[in-house]
Structure 1
């Protein structure tokens, strides 16, 4: 490890952690014994976390716009799987919802949300299947390191956006992946999340412990790029048909494309983000 890498790793490890309530929530949602209602008292113990969860729960994507009046409503009406994904989205909002580059941040949020929608939709077509709710969350968090460092170490992201050197960009992507893996461990995310976050942007996985999930995340990332939801600084873009055939040659691209387009265009949050980044 070079002195630069060691110094950068130290900066990443010093990134301000999530507040204790959010850390408790992230741990609680990993337990198979917990129900949505069990999370209510944790959420209510912090006003900021409660407010953010209510804001996200009332977004059009969850089909409850304006109907979630309280944390109890969120816990009762949404169910555990949707509430779990809202908690992940809230953690991401707390960790990356600031910084000096709002346009890049919005573009990255658009890309990861599109990846989440694509992964959740695509998961239903696969055999062996990946659970749709988990697929959505994996897509949402697959560039966790990039999202957090854009806010916390903006000078590093500026270097990434400015370079025309493929090796330099590759090195910076490796840093984002390592940062994501560190943050995922700090958040105590499940091993499948840690693995996919660490390897989603790499050509080869270090140890492919979760091949189906990682393949799905990589495909969702590539399809989001192909469908004009690019991650900032990522100029790789195969056609939709090429990207899908490389990952899932048995799937019918002509049948799948309109399904994905409908899911993406029907997500009001994603439409709003795309309007923000439109030239």
Structure 2
């Protein structure tokens, strides 16, 4: 693949390996100096407003020392795009082949990691917002931009735009306000080799919201990555019983926003 010039420059003499490309074209590279020092570089092309790397750097810095998250080493931008360099952490992504082969273990660790994050980060003093109100505004922007139900998960495609928008306008009562991860899908949890939670990564949407905004999507993502039947392990690891109404609401909001 074509490696952005700034990533090559940041790598220096380190071995450079592309490890991830997201749906918006954002790239992640692993830089390994061969002596135990590993860094990760996230890069996104200019004009991709959905990915805010300066905002992610701020969120990581705020959470640093309270929960296991990467340490920011550098952040910058040029005419081609922006980048974020973080220090490598021990552990493997929950979608590493090791954990794809042990999905129940991984799903439970995802739940435990979310509980740790929600308990450790104080809502009071958190400067970041991931509220329903903010996300409804994002949904309305997407609708105005031509969003189609065919872009949604299969379980939501039967809904028309008007009906779906009406449903997300009826927010269930907040269960518990927490500082949410904001993108608690399986790939963004790291696990130690013994199956215990190691760290959270990809914190660009971290902010205050109902804990079900994270829980509903974290459990949902186990279907995408492991197949059906593992969502219960997320809730068990977290220590909570499933809440069908809130799960359905926040999954639809996720699709639309």
TM-score, scaled to structure 1: 0.26
Report the TM-score, using the length of structure 2 for normalisation.
0.28
If each structure's strand is expressed as a fraction of its own residues, which one has the higher value? 2
